[in-house]
Amino acid sequence: MKKRCTSILAFILILLITTTTYASNLNDAKKDLSNVNGDIKETKQEIDDLKGQQNKVREQLEVIEENLRLKEQELSSVEKQLSRCQTELDEVINKLQETEDELTAIQESLEILKLQLEEAINQANEQEKLNAERLRSMYMNSSTSYLEIIFEAKSFNDLIDRINMIKQMISYDQQMFDSMQLHRDKVGERKQACEGEEQKILECKKDIEENKVILEQKHQEIENTKKRITRQKNEIQDSQNEKESLLNQLSEEEIQAREELEQQEKESKELEKLIREIQKKRAAEEAARKAAEKAKNNNSSRGNGNKSANSKGNTWPVPSSTHISSSFGYRTHPITRQWKLHKGIDISGGVSSKPAVAMKDGVVILSQYFGSYGNCVIIDHGDGISTLYAHGWSTTVSVGKEVKQGDTVLKIGSTGSSTGPHLHFEVRKNGVPVNPLDYVSR
């Protein structure tokens, strides 16, 4: 019996030495973790600043796109107006050309009329001169009448000759007067025609002057429209340049966000490794503890009391909400827009500052700000099962604390890489993410 007690004491001593060594290593790890946490907080602040800048750039981009759309509509309206103005200008030019052609024809006709008028005036003057001489001759010989000429005939034949001569004289006089009247009428008609043509010329000149004024106005309108179009095109070009600059800036930020996502993947792998190591050490400690108790009490070992990890008897992690905004599986990342595996479920819906509770009994193995997860708690439930609660405003438990099913472990928030208050909840088996809905139900 004494030998058996000595063996038990020796085993306990070895266990205490091992535990002390593990505690020393754990303290060193905590010290390193504290330094890392400082870097993480700085990175967190940089990420938050970047997200704020991205939101501002997106808002500016939306404003620019709206302005560009309005400018394009206005430019389209101006171009239609310019097309109509150009059509009207072409019509005025054609009308002006027709008027000028008509004026040229009228001017040519007027020159011909002037020549005809000058000829008619000359003929009328010549005829008037002949009539004047005839009248003067008749006046000089007014003492001799036609009867005297007839009575002075010396024979019958002489009488007939005198009568024919008198007829010819009367006919000639009548022709002279008719010709003079005809020339006078012709001169009157030519004068009237010339006056009509001159009036037409004046009207044509007036129309041409009016058309010239309209033409100048149209020219000025087109010049103003062209200047306005040029100005609007320059404004649109400036907007496009600004848009391209913003798109380039967003592209650079997207590259940074993708790098951040890669870092998240790396952190997830580190979590897997950390959880497996801690679970392995805890399993060894638990086995040693049970062996010591068995040796001390001479009793058989007993289980840890937890329910099976795949039991639906576990507690839903957010008592205030059952709304799942993003499920487990592949999805488009809300920040980087990449197609990636979502390793848990997101629970939202008025949950800010509300408690997140433990799925089942377990021991807290991580409670800190962890990169893109923000404020994060990991609980080891035994049998290789652990749960992760992320993005909290704050944690309410510390490493090493034993929690019961339903205990509060975190205040739900929006820290780390988060688009709004929600709980990111993961279940991991041997460190590898599995579908949480296989372990909890709403």
d(CA 432, CA 420): 26
Q: Which residues are registered as beta bridge partners of 340?
A: 331
What local confidence, expressed as pLDDT, does residue 211 receive?
A: 79
Q: Is 90 exceeded by the pLDDT of residue 236?
A: no
Model confidence at 39, in pLDDT bands (50, 70, 90)?
A: low
Q: Specify the DSSP element, H or E, that contains 149.
A: helix 146-151
CA–CA separation, 149 and 161 (whole Å): 11
What is the residue whose two structure tokens read 């097309």? 83
More confident residue, 35 or 112: 112
Q: What phi and psi values does residue 335 have, to the nearest 5 degrees?
A: -105, -50
pLDDT band, residue 347 (cuts 50/70/90): very high
Residue position matching structure tokens 């002279």: 176
Q: What is the pLDDT of residues 161-218, one digit of tens each?
A: 888 888 887 787 778 778 777 877 877 787 788 778 778 878 887 887 887 788 788 8
| 3-class DSSP assignment, residue 206 | helix
Pinpoint the residues of the chain covered by CATH 2.70.70.10: 305-442
Residue 273 CB partners (closer than 8 Å, separation 6+): 431
Is the predicted pLDDT of residue 12 greater than 70, yes or no? no
Determine contact, residues 371/40, Cβ cutoff 8 Å: yes
pTM of the model: 0.40
For residue 226, pLDDT beyond 60: yes
CATH number of 305-442: 2.70.70.10
Tell me the average pLDDT across 44-52. 63
| Dist CA 275 CA 385 (whole Å) | 10
CA dist 257 and 47 (Å) reads 9
Question: For the segment 242-257, what is each residue's pLDDT rounded down to a tens digit?
Answer: 877 777 776 776 677 6
pLDDT at 399: 94
Q: What is the pLDDT of residue 302?
A: 34
Question: Burial level of 409, CB count in 10 A (0-12/13-18/19+)?
Answer: buried
Average of per-residue pLDDT across 372-385: 94
Q: Per-residue pLDDT averaged across 36-50, rounded?
A: 57
- Whole-angstrom Cα distance, residue 373 to residue 340? 16
Token pair of 46, please? 């940089």
CA 299, CA 320: separation in Å to the nearest integer?
44
Q: What is the pLDDT of residues 267-317, one digit of tens each?
A: 767 767 777 777 777 777 777 777 677 666 654 333 333 333 344 689 999
If phi > 0 it is left, if psi is from -120 to 50 it is alpha, else beta; for residue 225 that is: alpha
Per CATH, the number for 49-302 is 1.10.287
Looking only at the bridges linking them, the beta strands covering 345-348 and 339-342 are unpaired
Q: Is the pLDDT of residue 117 over 70?
A: yes
pLDDT at 311: 47
CATH 1.10.287 in the chain, residues? 49-302
* The pLDDT value given to residue 34: 47
User: What's the average model confidence in pLDDT over 133-156?
Assistant: 69
Q: Which one-letter amino acid corresponds to residue 423?
A: L
- Among 26-35, 80-89, 175-184, 314-323, the range with the most confident prediction by mean pLDDT is 314-323
For residue 238, CA distances in Å to 46, 77, 113, 250, 311 come to 31, 20, 66, 18, 63
What band does 20 get if pLDDT is binned at 50, 70 and 90?
A: very low
Q: Which two tokens stand for residue 135?
A: 């009248």
Whole-number average pLDDT of the chain? 76
- Contact in structure between 341 and 422 (CB atoms under 8 Å): no
Give the containing element (helix H, strand E) for 161.
helix 156-297
Which range has the worst mean pLDDT, 19-23, 157-161, 199-203? 19-23
